[in-house]
């Protein structure tokens, strides 16, 4: 799968790659990062028509009713890279009814998958080379000036279970949990590192083990942004796990609900123009939550943990964690700090993503979140259906 990983890196650099399916091929480049000069060169070399590939989230925002999962839009000779960027990411753009939309091919869908794998906006430019251009492209492939990957390899790579390696560990005393140990995992193929923070003496952990799966949030966790509740939620998770007798906090490299830091800040800019957090992500072509919790489950499995009390307010996270080999035996809410700046964000997560936040949102800003969570505490006999669990609230 090294070739797939290398093509992802090329796309992140704005470099075109070749997608193959038998004798068929297309030249693909990301809208996110390609320069006008490289786009013009690619267009001239391919000789064939250019198609902009978008997913259903972006197509719906452009105004298309019931769009396919991925679709292709033919660009005209007069269309520029600026036009493609506008159709791919401009919040104000609407698709003209005179432009036909057709389902994307397997080649084009694979190119879109690669862009998404590289944390790029899911929008790619694909060109089927004409017969005259094929020898030149084959020559560039032979000289390694261009990279090629097959559709089958792309799908196999993207569907494969995560490959995690436990690399190193050390004691790292924390202010709220002096007896803590950091265990660092490396995820093969995507240049991501994840951390399991073991809090307390594992020999005396309660069963089920208290576990928080926390997605990284640079702005909230490190800089104390009040635009979200992530930083306060992270610190309260460490404290609560310690009070419960110890457990595990999984710190996952899943910034921006899995879209990456750049796209998270792009979404913030769109939110500043009036859209909520869900719609802002959809403007960019992302779903409401792009995370996958297979990595978190594998981390727990490698730590020998299978039965957990999950600290979350997020029903999607609950469902994602409650899969083999992990059983979520109970759920606890874990509230962050409610602020004037994050109230709308949290309300959107409650109303549009089903996060369990009503108890937090109906209290004043100065309500003690820890006391509120304790007041909500209960027990749950089947967290898979989540009729109650220990009621707590949503996290990133």
pLDDT tens for the chain, residues 1 to 396? 688 999 999 999 999 999 999 989 999 999 999 999 999 988 888 888 899 999 999 999 999 988 899 999 999 989 999 999 999 999 999 988 888 899 999 999 999 999 999 999 999 999 999 999 999 999 999 999 999 999 999 999 988 888 999 999 999 999 999 999 999 999 987 779 999 999 999 999 999 999 999 999 999 999 999 999 999 999 999 999 999 999 999 999 999 999 999 999 999 999 999 999 999 999 999 998 999 999 999 999 999 999 999 999 999 999 999 999 999 999 999 999 999 999 999 999 999 999 999 999 987 665 556 656 655 554 453 444 443 334 332 333
Helix axes 106-117 and 2-12, enclosed angle (nearest 10): 70
Q: How many CB atoms lie within 10 A of CB 282?
A: 21
Two structure tokens written together for 343: 């109230």
Which of the residues are catalytic? 289, 291
Two structure tokens written together for 174: 């924390």
What pTM was estimated for this model as a whole? 0.90
Q: Which residue has the tokens 């898979």?
A: 384
- In sequence order, the β-bridge partners of residue 309 are 210, 330
Contact partners, residue 285, CB within 8 Å, separation at least 6 = 54, 55, 57, 58, 88, 89, 121, 122, 123
Residue range(s) of every CATH 3.40.50.10990 domain in the chain? 164-254+291-376
CATH ID of 2-159, from 3.90.870.10, 3.90.950.10, 3.30.70.20, 3.40.190.10: 3.90.870.10
200 and 178 Cβ atoms separated by less than 8 Å: no
Task: Please tell me the CATH superfamily of domain 164-254+291-376, with its number.
Answer: GTP cyclohydrolase II (3.40.50.10990)
Residue range(s) of every CATH 3.90.870.10 domain in the chain? 2-159
Around 70, how many Cα atoms within 13 Å sit in the side-chain half-sphere?
Answer: 19
């Amino acid at each position: 799968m090294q070739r797939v990983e290398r093509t992802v890196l090329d796309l992140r650099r704005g470099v075109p790659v070749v997608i193959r399916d038998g004798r068929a091929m297309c030249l693909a480049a990301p809208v996110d990062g390609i320069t006008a000069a490289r786009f013009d060169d690619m267009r001239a070399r391919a000789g064939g028509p250019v198609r902009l590939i978008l997913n259903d989230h972006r197509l719906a925002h452009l105004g298309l009713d019931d769009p396919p999962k991925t679709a292709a839009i033919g660009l005209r000779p007069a269309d520029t890279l600026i036009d493609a960027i506008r159709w791919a990411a401009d919040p104000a753009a609407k698709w003209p009814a005179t432009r036909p939309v057709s389902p994307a091919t397997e080649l084009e869908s694979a190119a879109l998958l690669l862009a998404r794998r590289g944390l790029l906006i899911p929008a790619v430019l694909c060109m089927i080379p004409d017969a005259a251009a094929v020898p030149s492209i084959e020559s560039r492939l032979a000289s390694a000036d261009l990279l090629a990957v097959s559709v089958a390899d792309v799908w196999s790579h993207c569907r494969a279970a995560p490959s995690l390696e436990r690399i190193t560990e050390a004691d790292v005393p924390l202010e709220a949990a002096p007896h803590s140990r950091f265990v660092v995992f490396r995820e093969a193929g995507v240049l991501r590192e994840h951390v399991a923070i073991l809090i307390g003496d594992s020999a005396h952990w309660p069963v089920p083990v208290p576990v928080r799966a926390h997605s990284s949030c640079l702005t909230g966790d490190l800089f104390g942004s009040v635009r979200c509740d992530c930083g306060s939620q992270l610190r309260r998770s460490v404290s609560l796990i310690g009070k419960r007798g110890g457990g595990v906090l999984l710190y996952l490299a899943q910034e921006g609900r899995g879209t990456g830091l750049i796209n998270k800040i792009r979404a913030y800019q769109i939110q500043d123009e009036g859209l909520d957090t869900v719609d802002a992500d959809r403007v960019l072509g992302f779903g409401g939550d792009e995370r996958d919790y297979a990595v978190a489950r594998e981390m727990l499995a490698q730590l020998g943990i299978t039965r957990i009390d999950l600290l979350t307010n997020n029903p999607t996270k609950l469902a994602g964690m409650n899969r083999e080999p992990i059983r979520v035996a109970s759920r606890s809410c874990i509230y962050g700090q409610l602020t004037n700046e994050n109230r709308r964000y949290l309300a959107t997560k409650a109303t549009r993503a089903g996060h369990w936040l009503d108890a937090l949102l109906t209290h004043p800003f100065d309500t003690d979140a820890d006391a509120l969570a304790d007041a909500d505490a209960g027990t749950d006999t089947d967290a898979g259906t989540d009729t109650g669990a220990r009621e707590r609230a949503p996290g990133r």
